[in-house]
Chain A
Amino acid sequence: MTNTPFENEESSRLAPLTRRLQSLAAQHAQQHESEIAQLLRSNGLAYGSVGQRRLEERPWQLDVLPKLIEQSEWQQLEAGLNQRARLKQALLNDIYGEQALFHQGIMPAQAVFAHRGYLRAVRQVPSAWQLPLCNIDVTRTRHGTWLATGDSNQKPGHVGYALENRLVLSQVLPDHYRYGRVQRHAAYFRSLIATLSNSMDIDERCVLLGYGASHPNHFEHAYLAKYLGYTLVEPNDLTVRDQRVWLKTVAGLQRVDVIFRFINDRDTDPLAYSGGDGTGIPGLLHAAIANNVQIINPLGSAALDNPALDAYLAPLCQFYLGETPLLDSVGSYWLGDAAQRDAAFSRLDALSIRDINAAPDDSPVSALNEQQRSALLTRIDATPHSFVAVEPIDRERVESVFNQLPTSLPIILRTYLVNNGENFEAMPGGLCLLDDNNPGDDQQHQSSKDVWVLSRQNVPEDSLLPHQDIPDYAIHDGELPSRVADNLFWLGRNAERAENTLRNLRSALQLMRRFDADEQIPVPTSELLASQLRATTTATDTLPGFVGAGAARRLQKPDRELLSIIFNENRTGSLANTLQNLQFTAGSVRDRVSYDLLRILNRLDDRARFLQQESAYKSLTGNSKALSQLIEQFNQLIDSLAALSGMTHENFTHGEGWQFMMLGRRIERARQATAVLGSVLQNNQNDPAVLENLLRNFDSVMTYRSRYRSQLDARLVLNLLLLDERNPRSVAYQLLHIDRSIRTLPGMRRADHSDPLLKLVTAVLSRVRLAEPAELLAGNQNQRQSLKKFVMIIEELTSKLATTLSANYLTHTEIPTNLDTASLLTAILVENTDPADNAASEPRP
C-alpha cells in the first residue's frame, strides 16, 4: 500500500484502514512482529527489572494492529474524560480544603476517610493543591458505550509506553499511519513539559522520581527522564533539610524545586505514612506543606482513586460542575451506606465486590465458593465502609495478533490528561492494555496496542520533540547524583574487569589448544600454561584457584576450575558474574545512555547468552572443538567490550560522569595489571614464552618489538608494562590519568596537595616512577621479595584510592532506617517497670 494517494477528502477512513490492517496482519505478521520487537529493544524499553535475573524476561509486547477510534467518537469520549478530570480537581481541592461536600451532605465523609489514599495531614495546606495530571482508565462495552473503570491520579503510569508504542508503530507502519491521519501525542507531552516548567522559575530544578533500578518500571522511567530531559532520581538521592528538598550530587547538595514523581504516596515519606518499609524521603510531606517543593501530582492525590466516589458520581458532578455525567462509571454501590448496601445485597450474585484499598478483582460474587463467600461477607460486616459492589461490564473484545495468532481480547484504555492551566488536555487515544483483568497500579502488563484516533482532515506533521539522540552525560555540571556517579564508576570497573577476565581466559584456552595439538608436551606440566592459569586467578581475584590451597591439584586438572571461572554466575569474579554486574550497573544508568550505546550493551548481552549453557561444555582438556568454540565466543565478547570502550571514550561528553567512569576503568586496570605482573614475574622471569604471553595479555607485543627490537628481557618487559607512561596498558599510564581525572572532580580545582585523594595518587605515582626494574627483579630466583612487596604496596594504595574516592564523592547513598516506634515503646515500659515501683504505686501505666 505504498504510494497511496493522500486525498484531502473529509471522509472516514476507519473502514478502509481496518481492512488494510487486517490483510496486513494476515500476510506479514511475522515480519512486523520481529521488527516491533527489535525496535522496542533498541529503544531500551524492555519491560522488566534490572535484577540478577535476565533483563528481558518480560518484554513489553506491542500488537501490530492498533486500536482505531474515529474522531467523532473520540471527541465525545474526550469531553467525558475532561469532565471527570475537572471533577477530580474539584474533589481534591474540597476534600483537603473546606470539605463542602460533607457539610452539604453530598456524600458521607466516611466514604472518603475509609480510603487509605486519604492523607489526613494534607488538611493543613492553606491553599488547595492543583491536580496537574489526571489519568483515567476506560473501557468500551459491546454496545459501544464508554465507561470509566478506574483512576490513577498519583502518577501517569505507563505513559512512557504510550510514547514508545507510538514511536515504534509509526515506524513499522508508516504508510498506514499517514493514511489514517492519526492524531499526534506531541501536544500532550508539550503541555506536560510546560506544566512542569510552569511550576518553577528558569533556574530551578525538576527531577523525575522513580523507584530505582530494581523496580519493574525502571526502564520506563529512564526512558521518560531521557526523553523529557530531567534527571532521574530515586528516593535515596533526595534529602530534606530546612524544609527544602535537595539532590545529593558529587558536587554537594543541590536544591530541587519540582518533583515529577512515579512513586506512590505511601512510599514518599516514612514520617508521614507509617506502616511502610522506611524507604522514602523523610520530611518530604513537610517540605511540600511548607510550599518549598512542588510534587506532581501532589501527595494525597491517591484519595481520588477511591472507587467509592463513583457511587456518588452524578451528585458530585451536579454539585461541583452543575453538569450531568458525560462519561459514566461502572455502576457502583458504596456498602458503607445502609440503603446502597441493601440494594447491592438484594442482587449480590450479579455483582462483584471491590475492597477500595486493594487492587481491583472483578470476579463476580457468583464465582466464589461457599468458603470465599462467607469470608467476604465477614469482612464486609466488619468494615462495610471499605467496600463497593460494582455492576459487571460486558466488555468489547478487539482483534489482536500475537505470535502470529489472531485472537480477540477485552481492552482497557488508559488515558492521560494534563492541566494546561486553563483546562485539561487529553493525549489522543492514550495507551491500550490487553488483559482479562483491570490494570492494577503497578501490575505488569505484557500486551498493549497503540491507539490511533483518526482525523477527518489531514494532520500536520508534528513530531514530539526533535527525536535526536542526546549526548551521553550531557548534563549540567553539579547535577550528577552521587548514586549515578557510583554506578558509572562501577560501570567502568566492571567493563575493564570483564575485558581483562576475557583476555586471561582466552590466553589460557589458546595455550591449552596449542599444547594439546602437539602431543609431545603434556598440557598440565607446561609452565607456560601454569603461569597463565595463575595470572587468571590473580586477575579475577578468584582465590584459591590456581594460586592458593589446592592449586597444584587444579593445575594438574584445570577444567573444573576454568569452567567455574567462566560459567558460575554466583561466583564473584567469574566471567558470568562480572558480565552480569556490568549489565546491572549499565541498567541503573539507563537514562544516561545513548541509543548507540544501548545497542552495544544489547549486543553484548546477546553474545553472553552462551554463558547460560554450561552443560554444553563438559571438558576442555583435549577437547579442541570446545576450546575453539569458547575462544570464538570470547573474541566476540572482547569485540563488544572494545566497542563499548571506544563509544564511551569518543562519544561521551567528558563531564563529571565520564570522569567517574574512566576512574573506575583506570583503577581497575591498574589493580589488575599490577597483580598479573606480580604473579607472572615472581614465578618466572626468564622464560621467553612466558614473557611473550604476558606481553600479549597486555596487548603490548608490537609495542615491545618496535621499541626495544631485542630479545625478551624481563627488565624491559617490566619497564614497558609497569613504568612506561606512554603505554596505555601500563600501570604508570593508569596512575597518570587517574591523577589527571581526580584534578577535574568537583571541589578539586582549587584543592592543594593536602587533599587526601591527591596525596594518595601522588604517593602511588611517585612509587612507580621511582621504581627500578632491575632492582625489583634482583635477588633469589624464587623469592622476589622486593617485587612482591612493591606489588603489595601498589595494590594497597590503589584500593585505598578507590575507597577514598568513594567516601568523598559516592557515599551519600546510605539507606535510611526507621527508629522503630515499637522498640521505642518497649523501652519506655522496661525503663519504668521496676517491679518495686509497680507494687508501690497504685496507678499503672
Chain B
Amino acid sequence: MKVQVLHKTDYRYTANVSQSVNRLCLSPRDTPNQRVLEHQISIDPSPVQIDVIEDIYGNKINYFSIDEPHLQFTVTARSLLETADQAPPLPLAPRIELLKKQLCHSITGDALLATDCLLPSPFAPVLQEVDSLIAELAEHQGDALEFSCALMQYIFENFEFDSTFSTLVTPISAVLEARRGVCQDFAHLAISVLRRAGIPARYVSGYLETLPPPGQMKLQGADASHAWFSVFIPELGWFDFDPTNNKRPDAQYVTTAWGRDYADIAPLKGVVYGGGTPSMTVSVDVNRLNTGVASV
C-alpha cells in the first residue's frame, strides 16, 4: 500500500544560536519490502548547502550547518512509500551453534558486516545479566529465527510499555530490572540478548501507522517514530521483529535506517553554539493514501 510520512522536528532557543551543525538520518530507504516514491527534506532557516552521503549501512545521511543567527529551527521530512503487504515468511534457519560456526568463517559482504552486530555497541552492550532470560527461552534454542520470534513474544508478554519510565539512555540492566520501557528499550534489550546468544542483531528505526478506534477521527501528529530489531542468518539475510507489538513488520511499517544501535542512526544529531536552553517538539503523521479497509 502507499504510505505518506510527515516528520516534523522543531527547536526553539532562549538565546540566539550563532551556528548549528547537524546530521540528519530521516530519509527512508529502499528495502525488499518498501520502495521510496518521493522524499523531501526542508529545513528552516535554510542552510547554504546540504550534503547527502551514505553511511556504511547504506543509510542516507544529511549533513548541513546553519551559519546565520537563529532562535528557531525546523526540519520537516516528507516521504511517500509503497510498502509490501506482508512480512516475508520465516524460513527454516540453522541452529544457533551452527550459525556461530558459519559466522566465524564469514569473510565477505553482508555476513562480514553482520559479525560487527555480534559485538557490543554503546546502547546494546553484551551482558551476563541476560543469561537468565536466555535460559527461560531454552526450549526455543534450536532454530535461530524461532529463538528470535520467541524472544519478541517474551518481551511483549513480560515487559510493560511505559512511556514515562524511560529516557533513551536507560541502561539495559535497568530495563531488565523494572520490566518496562519503550520501543527503543525493547529493541536494545532484544539486541543485547541476541548478541549474547550468538545471533547477529541490529537496530531498525522507522515509523508505524496507528489506527484510531472505530468511529473516531485520526489525530494529527499522533503517530510516532518507532524502532525494532533485525537478525541475520547467513545466506538468507535479515529478518525484522517488533517486540513492542509482538509483530513482524508489515505494510504498516516504514523503515528509515538501520545500524548497530540507536547511536548510529539517531534521527537528528546537532551541535549548537549559543542558544541558551533549547526546547523541542516533534510530530509524526503516518497516513495511507488509498484509504481502503486495512488488510491487517
Same complex origin of A and B: yes
Residues in chain A within 8 A of chain B (CB atoms): 99, 102-105, 108-110, 113-114, 120-121, 123-124, 239-243, 270-271, 274-275, 278, 282-283, 286, 289-290, 378, 381-383, 385-386, 814-819, 821-834, 837-838, 840-845
Establish whether residues B115 and A833, one from each chain, have CB atoms under 8 Å apart when the complex forms.
no
| Complex alpha-carbon distance, A829 and B227, angstroms | 12
Establish whether residues A832 and B223, one from each chain, have CB atoms under 8 Å apart when the complex forms.
yes
Given contacts A243-B51, A841-B213, A843-B208, contact A828 B245 (CB under 8 A): no
Given the complex, which residues of B lie within 8 Å of A816, measured CB to CB? 271-273
CB distance from A820 to the nearest CB of B (A): 8
| Complex alpha-carbon distance, A271 and B269, angstroms | 7
Given contacts A109-B116, A114-B119, A278-B271, contact A840 B216 (CB under 8 A): yes
Residue of A nearest to B100 (CB): A338
| Complex alpha-carbon distance, A828 and B10, angstroms | 11
Given the complex, which residues of A lie within 8 Å of B213, measured CB to CB? 840-841
Residues in chain B within 8 A of chain A (CB atoms): 11, 18-23, 48-49, 51, 53-56, 63, 65, 67, 104-105, 107-108, 112, 115-116, 118-120, 122, 126-128, 161, 163-164, 166-169, 182-184, 196, 208-213, 216, 219, 221-226, 244-245, 247, 252, 262-264, 266-275, 278, 280-284
| Complex alpha-carbon distance, A278 and B209, angstroms | 35
Establish whether residues B116 and A383, one from each chain, have CB atoms under 8 Å apart when the complex forms.
no
* Pick from B164, B219, B271: contact of A271, CB under 8 Å: B271
Establish whether residues B219 and A817, one from each chain, have CB atoms under 8 Å apart when the complex forms.
no
Establish whether residues A830 and B163, one from each chain, have CB atoms under 8 Å apart when the complex forms.
yes
Given contacts A240-B65, A825-B168, contact A819 B11 (CB under 8 A): yes
Given the complex, which residues of B lie within 8 Å of A817, measured CB to CB? 271-273, 275
Q: A124-B54, A843-B210 are in contact. List 18 more A-B contacts (CB 8 A).
A: A99-B112, A110-B115, A120-B264, A282-B21, A283-B63, A818-B270, A818-B271, A819-B11, A819-B269, A823-B280, A824-B280, A829-B182, A837-B219, A838-B163, A840-B216, A843-B244, A845-B182, A845-B225
| Complex alpha-carbon distance, A120 and B267, angstroms | 18
Given the complex, which residues of B lie within 8 Å of A114, measured CB to CB? 119
CB distance from B205 to the nearest CB of A (A): 11
Establish whether residues B18 and A383, one from each chain, have CB atoms under 8 Å apart when the complex forms.
no
Establish whether residues B65 and A283, one from each chain, have CB atoms under 8 Å apart when the complex forms.
yes
CB distance from A495 to the nearest CB of B (A): 31
| A105, A824, A841, A843: most-surrounded residue (chain B CB, <10 A) | A843
Given the complex, which residues of B lie within 8 Å of A282, measured CB to CB? 21, 271
| Complex alpha-carbon distance, A550 and B268, angstroms | 57
Establish whether residues A822 and B21, one from each chain, have CB atoms under 8 Å apart when the complex forms.
no
| Complex alpha-carbon distance, A220 and B163, angstroms | 51
Establish whether residues A837 and B268, one from each chain, have CB atoms under 8 Å apart when the complex forms.
no
| B53, B105, B163, B182: most-surrounded residue (chain A CB, <10 A) | B163
Given the complex, which residues of A lie within 8 Å of B63, measured CB to CB? 243, 283, 286
Establish whether residues B18 and A124, one from each chain, have CB atoms under 8 Å apart when the complex forms.
no
CB distance from A399 to the nearest CB of B (A): 46
Establish whether residues A290 and B51, one from each chain, have CB atoms under 8 Å apart when the complex forms.
yes
Given the complex, which residues of A lie within 8 Å of B283, measured CB to CB? 831-832
Given contacts A121-B55, A845-B183, contact A385 B222 (CB under 8 A): no
Given the complex, which residues of B lie within 8 Å of A239, measured CB to CB? 19
| Complex alpha-carbon distance, A826 and B271, angstroms | 18
CB distance from A651 to the nearest CB of B (A): 36
Establish whether residues B56 and A822, one from each chain, have CB atoms under 8 Å apart when the complex forms.
no
**Closest 5 CB pairs between A and B?**
A845-B224, A282-B271, A282-B21, A841-B210, A833-B163
Establish whether residues B112 and A102, one from each chain, have CB atoms under 8 Å apart when the complex forms.
yes
| Complex alpha-carbon distance, A385 and B118, angstroms | 10
Establish whether residues B53 and A124, one from each chain, have CB atoms under 8 Å apart when the complex forms.
yes
A-B contact pairs, 20 of them (CB 8 A): A103-B112, A240-B21, A243-B49, A270-B271, A271-B21, A274-B269, A278-B271, A283-B65, A385-B119, A814-B18, A816-B273, A819-B268, A821-B266, A828-B225, A830-B163, A832-B222, A832-B282, A834-B222, A840-B212, A843-B209
* Pick from B107, B210, B245: contact of A102, CB under 8 Å: B107
Establish whether residues B271 and A819, one from each chain, have CB atoms under 8 Å apart when the complex forms.
yes
Given contacts A821-B266, A840-B213, contact A845 B51 (CB under 8 A): no
* Pick from B65, B167, B281: contact of A822, CB under 8 Å: B167
| Complex alpha-carbon distance, A41 and B12, angstroms | 51
Given the complex, which residues of B lie within 8 Å of A110, measured CB to CB? 115-116, 118-119
Establish whether residues A105 and B107, one from each chain, have CB atoms under 8 Å apart when the complex forms.
yes
Residue of A nearest to B54 (CB): A124
CB distance from A723 to the nearest CB of B (A): 41
Establish whether residues B278 and A819, one from each chain, have CB atoms under 8 Å apart when the complex forms.
yes
Establish whether residues B55 and A827, one from each chain, have CB atoms under 8 Å apart when the complex forms.
no
Residue of A nearest to B271 (CB): A282
| A105, A278, A829: most-surrounded residue (chain B CB, <10 A) | A829
| Complex alpha-carbon distance, A827 and B279, angstroms | 9
Establish whether residues A827 and B280, one from each chain, have CB atoms under 8 Å apart when the complex forms.
yes
Establish whether residues B210 and A828, one from each chain, have CB atoms under 8 Å apart when the complex forms.
no
Given contacts A814-B274, A828-B282, contact A837 B252 (CB under 8 A): no
CB distance from B208 to the nearest CB of A (A): 5
Establish whether residues A822 and B245, one from each chain, have CB atoms under 8 Å apart when the complex forms.
no
Establish whether residues B224 and A814, one from each chain, have CB atoms under 8 Å apart when the complex forms.
no
* Pick from A105, A824, A844: contact of B268, CB under 8 Å: A824
CB distance from B110 to the nearest CB of A (A): 12
| Complex alpha-carbon distance, A239 and B267, angstroms | 23
Given the complex, which residues of B lie within 8 Å of A381, measured CB to CB? 128
| Complex alpha-carbon distance, A123 and B213, angstroms | 47
Establish whether residues B119 and A837, one from each chain, have CB atoms under 8 Å apart when the complex forms.
no
Given the complex, which residues of B lie within 8 Å of A113, measured CB to CB? 115-116, 119
* Pick from B56, B120, B263: contact of A383, CB under 8 Å: B120
Given the complex, which residues of A lie within 8 Å of B67, measured CB to CB? 241
Given contacts A113-B115, A382-B126, A814-B273, contact A824 B266 (CB under 8 A): yes
Residue of B nearest to A116 (CB): B122
CB distance from A340 to the nearest CB of B (A): 13
Given the complex, which residues of B lie within 8 Å of A830, measured CB to CB? 163
Establish whether residues B282 and A831, one from each chain, have CB atoms under 8 Å apart when the complex forms.
yes
Establish whether residues B112 and A109, one from each chain, have CB atoms under 8 Å apart when the complex forms.
yes
* Pick from A123, A290, A831: contact of B281, CB under 8 Å: A831
CB distance from B116 to the nearest CB of A (A): 5
| Complex alpha-carbon distance, A823 and B278, angstroms | 10
Given the complex, which residues of B lie within 8 Å of A819, measured CB to CB? 11, 20, 268-272, 278, 280
Given the complex, which residues of B lie within 8 Å of A105, measured CB to CB? 105, 107
Given the complex, which residues of B lie within 8 Å of A104, measured CB to CB? 107
Residue of B nearest to A827 (CB): B280
Given the complex, which residues of A lie within 8 Å of B278, measured CB to CB? 819
Given the complex, which residues of A lie within 8 Å of B55, measured CB to CB? 120-121, 124
| Complex alpha-carbon distance, A99 and B67, angstroms | 38
Establish whether residues B224 and A828, one from each chain, have CB atoms under 8 Å apart when the complex forms.
yes
CB distance from B21 to the nearest CB of A (A): 4
| Complex alpha-carbon distance, A108 and B107, angstroms | 8
Given the complex, which residues of B lie within 8 Å of A243, measured CB to CB? 49, 51, 63
CB distance from A218 to the nearest CB of B (A): 23
Establish whether residues A289 and B168, one from each chain, have CB atoms under 8 Å apart when the complex forms.
no
| Complex alpha-carbon distance, A826 and B281, angstroms | 10
| Complex alpha-carbon distance, A382 and B172, angstroms | 14
Establish whether residues B271 and A841, one from each chain, have CB atoms under 8 Å apart when the complex forms.
no
Residue of A nearest to B259 (CB): A120
| Complex alpha-carbon distance, A845 and B49, angstroms | 33
| Complex alpha-carbon distance, A242 and B67, angstroms | 9
| B49, B126, B222, B281: most-surrounded residue (chain A CB, <10 A) | B222
| Complex alpha-carbon distance, A275 and B56, angstroms | 20
CB distance from A242 to the nearest CB of B (A): 6
Establish whether residues B182 and A843, one from each chain, have CB atoms under 8 Å apart when the complex forms.
no
| Complex alpha-carbon distance, A838 and B164, angstroms | 13
| Complex alpha-carbon distance, A385 and B213, angstroms | 49
CB distance from A249 to the nearest CB of B (A): 16
CB distance from A95 to the nearest CB of B (A): 12
Given contacts A823-B280, A845-B224, contact A103 B108 (CB under 8 A): yes
